[in-house]
Chain A
Amino acid sequence: MKIPYNIHTIWLLMVVLTLSTYALGKLGYGGIVVVFFLLLTAVLKGGLIIRDFMELKEVSLLWRVIMYGWLWTVCIAIAITYMISI
């Protein structure tokens, strides 16, 4: 079955990802693998907001680099600090 890609399914996907983030916290999971998963989840959700909610998927490369660049830079910097500390 082909799952439609539209703002409704995007919203649903973000709800599921949020619940998975909450579940990991509730179950008390930690460690670098969990941190990577949580950051990738944040990147995926953030990417969906930038691409489909803000409707930046067809704007010039400069604006997309700024927005996706912010998201990736922040998440990679956070990942590095956790790699140092775990």
Chain B
Amino acid sequence: MTTETFDTEVKLLPGDLAIWFFIFMELLVFGIFFIAYAVMRVQNIEMFNHYQLTLNRELGAANTLLLITSSYFVVRAVHAIKLNKVKQCIYWLYAALGGGLGFLVLKSIEYADKFSEGISLSTNTFYMFYLSLTMFHFLHVILGMVILFAVAIKAQRGAYSAHDHIGVETGASYWHMVDLVWIVLFPLVYIMR
């Protein structure tokens, strides 16, 4: 599958088609998870509203900014490789990885704080959703970083150019999905009441 088309034609999905089926499945799972959270909240409104206030909104917002910015860096990497600027592409990919690493660090601080208070999946329904949803997303951030790192290594070995950059677009698409999911997760779990 190539990404080369004329502007007047309908474009093909960027990157490898297989990653898109993976992305659709991931979105379906997260979507069901989000709706399950919202439905369970209806049955436990006071509990959800009370324990939501114990979450660290500052770290949640900072993590949102990190993921948005990291996604922006990945866009810059894709634009760079389309112009055959391989070095710039590599720099932007590592910058995006830095954003991902920052997300993991802040999330780990948040988890350490909760675990030190003895909070676990079995504490109550709210924390069950909070921990399972955010940890599921946390694992996707790690997977996204592994993919981006592999793309960066391949880029360093000269595997990509302006004419052949499907791998960069594939990694970028997955990383944007990780960002997209968090865009819904953050207001739903941390803010909405």
Contacts and interface: CB of A to CB of B under 8 A. Distances in A.
Given A11-B68, A73-B31, A84 B42 contact: yes
B187 A42 contact: yes
Contacts of A39: 187, 192
Tell me the interface secondary structure of chain A in the complex: helix
A45 B181 CA distance: 11
Interface residues of A, number: 44
Contact of B11 (A45, A52, A58, A73): A58
Interface residues of B, number: 49
Interface string A1-38: 00000010001001100110110111000100011001
B11 A59 contact: yes
B35 interface: yes
Given A63-B20, A74-B35, A24 B191 contact: yes
Kindly name the residue among B12, B69, B79, B184 whose own CB sees the greatest number of chain A CB atoms within 10 A: B184
B31 A74 contact: yes
Contact of A49 (B65, B180, B188): B180
Contacts of B186: 18, 21
Tell me the interface secondary structure of chain B in the complex: helix
A30 B75 CA distance: 34
B38 interface: yes
Contacts of B190: 25
A55 B41 contact: no
Given A59-B10, A85-B45, A53 B72 contact: yes
B176 interface: yes
Interface of A: 7, 11, 14-15, 18-19, 21-22, 24-26, 30, 34-35, 38-39, 41-42, 45-46, 49-50, 52-56, 58-60, 63, 66-67, 70-71, 73-75, 77-78, 81-82, 84-85
Given A22-B57, A74-B34, 9 more contacts: A21-B64, A26-B57, A30-B193, A49-B179, A53-B75, A59-B13, A78-B35, A81-B41, A82-B38
